Structure 1
Amino acid sequence: MPSFQTRLKITGLRPGNPPESVMDAAVEALGTRHHVEAHQLQIAGGVPQLNLRFLVEASEYSGENRQAVESAAMMRDAVERVALTGSISVLRRSRGKWLPV
């Protein structure tokens, strides 16, 4: 199964939401469609960033990429309910490297 990673910048919390609700929302949303292999919060350029690694069911290459991008967008929508977000990226693991989709 192909492995993907999505990186989502978090620029703030919506009122009434604890910090842990951001990762919870991301993992829950992405987990409804794919197996989430790992998740972590990093600081990139002084901005918090969610990194989630997930598997997409094997099919044809462009279909796998499309599923990953659609799922990342769905995950972002879920996170937007509890936090303000910045840029998002989707990467695919290929020959030991993470490459942009």
Structure 2
Amino acid sequence: MCGTAVEHARFREECKSAQSHGCKLYFLIENEDGIEKIEDVSQWVNPRLSISPKAVTGERLMKSMITMSERYGCEFMFCKPEEAAETILKLLGGDDDADG
């Protein structure tokens, strides 16, 4: 989502396609930066900013994510890497305590 304009356009088209087919997309972002909700993304510092002043800022990325959520109904979720498996199971409605 924070790549080139072509990548952003493709991402947007995938979201539009899913919505038009009645699908809801969930994006689970693993991070160790303490980002727990979409509003926290504004505090993220892109390491590429030191190389390219045109690199996306956390604020701009957050605004894009909010726009995508509002327009296309996708949901951005955040977790620590060690929480990813459990989060996916909950999202899919799986019961990780089941006895096989």
Task: Report the TM-score when normalising by structure 2.
Answer: 0.29
Higher percent of residues as strand? 1
Q: Relative CO higher for 1 or 2, CA cutoff 8 Å, sep ≥ 6?
A: 1
Higher percent of residues as helix? 2
Task: Report the TM-score when normalising by structure 1.
Answer: 0.28
